[in-house]
C-alpha cells in the first residue's frame, strides 16, 4: 500500500520546471554534477609512462626502458624490462600501492555524480514533492553535508597519494637500480594534478550549497511558513 501511495504521489507530482536552474540551489547542483564527472574521469581514465635510459661505453650505445602505469596505481603490478650493458636483461617493478586513496576518490566522485543526477530530477520534475514536507530538504541537507566531508577526506587522501605516485614514478629515483641508468622521459602528471583541483572545487561547491539547502528547511523558515508547507499548502506572503 505504501508503494502504491508513493507511486501515485510521484505520478501526480510530475511537472517539468526548469526554474530551479535559475536559482542557486539548482545551478550549483548542476556544477556539482559536472565537476564530479571531471573528478572521477581525470583519475579513473589515467595512463602514463616513465622512462629510463641505459648508456653503455665503449662502444657508445643506449637503450630505453619504459614502465607503463595507470589507475588504480598498484605500481608493483607493472613490471618493465631493462637491457643492461652486458646484453643481459633484468626485470624490475615500480614500487608502491596507492590504489586505496585513488579508488576512494573515484568512488566519492561516482556516487556524488549519481546523487546529483537523482536530486536534479527531483528539483526539475518533482519540485512539489520535494517541498511537500520538511523531510525532503532536511535529507538533502544531511546528504550534502556528508558529501562535502567525503570530498574533503578523499581529495586530501588522493593529493597525498598523488605526491607518492610522482615520487615512485620519477625517472631520477628509478634510475638508481643500475649504475648505467639515467633519467629519461618524465611522466605527464597534468591530468592528475587537475583531478586534485577538481576534488577541492567539489568540496567548495558542496560545502557552499549546504547554505542554500538549509534555507529550504524548516530550521531557517519561520514557524508559520514551515507549518504551511507541512500541510501541503503554498507559503503565505
CB-based contact 118:126 (threshold 8 Å): no
CB-based contact 209:141 (threshold 8 Å): no
CA 159 to chain centre: 12
Find, among 187, 155, 159, the residue nearest to 75 by Cα.
187
Res 174: pLDDT: 84
Contacts of 144 (CB under 8 A, 6+ apart): 206, 209, 210, 213
Residues 9-52 pLDDT 10s: 555 566 777 777 888 888 999 999 999 999 999 999 899 999 88
Extract the residue ranges of the chain whose pLDDT is less than 50: 1-6, 226-237
Res 12: pLDDT: 56
Res 220: pLDDT: 62
Res 226: pLDDT: 47
Query: Which cell numbers in the block locate residue 144?
Result: 550534502
Res 176: pLDDT: 80
Amino acid at each position: 500500500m505504501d508503494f502504491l501511495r508513493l507511486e501515485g504521489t510521484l505520478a501526480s507530482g510530475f511537472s517539468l520546471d526548469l526554474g530551479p536552474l535559475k536559482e542557486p540551489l539548482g545551478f550549483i547542483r548542476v556544477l556539482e554534477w559536472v565537476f564530479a564527472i571531471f573528478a572521477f574521469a581525470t583519475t579513473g581514465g589515467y595512463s602514463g609512462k616513465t622512462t629510463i635510459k641505459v648508456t653503455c661505453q665503449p662502444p657508445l650505445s643506449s637503450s630505453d626502458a619504459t614502465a607503463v602505469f595507470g589507475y588504480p596505481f598498484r605500481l608493483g603490478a607493472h613490471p618493465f624490462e631493462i637491457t643492461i650493458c652486458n646484453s643481459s636483461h633484468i626485470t624490475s617493478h615500480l614500487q608502491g600501492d596507492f590504489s586505496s586513496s585513488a579508488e576512494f576518490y573515484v568512488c566519492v566522485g561516482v556516487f556524488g555524480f549519481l546523487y546529483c543526477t537523482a536530486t536534479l530530477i527531483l528539483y526539475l520534475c518533482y519540485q512539489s514533492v520535494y517541498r511537500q514536507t520538511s523531510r525532503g530538504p532536511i535529507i538533502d541537507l544531511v546528504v550534502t553535508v556528508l558529501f562535502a566531508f567525503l570530498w574533503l577526506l578523499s581529495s586530501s587522501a588522493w593529493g597525498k597519494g598523488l605526491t607518492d605516485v610522482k615520487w615512485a614514478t620519477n625517472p631520477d629515483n628509478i634510475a638508481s637500480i643500475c649504475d648505467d641508468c639515467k633519467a629519461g622521459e618524465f611522466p605527464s602528471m597534468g591530468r592528475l594534478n587537475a583531478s586534485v583541483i577538481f576534488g577541492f572545487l567539489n568540496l567548495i561547491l558542496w560545502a557552499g550549497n549546504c547554505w542554500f539547502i538549509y534555507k529550504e528547511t524548516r530550521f531557517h523558515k519561520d514557524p508559520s511558513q514551515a507549518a504551511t508547507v507541512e500541510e501541503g499548502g503554498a507559503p503565505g506572503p
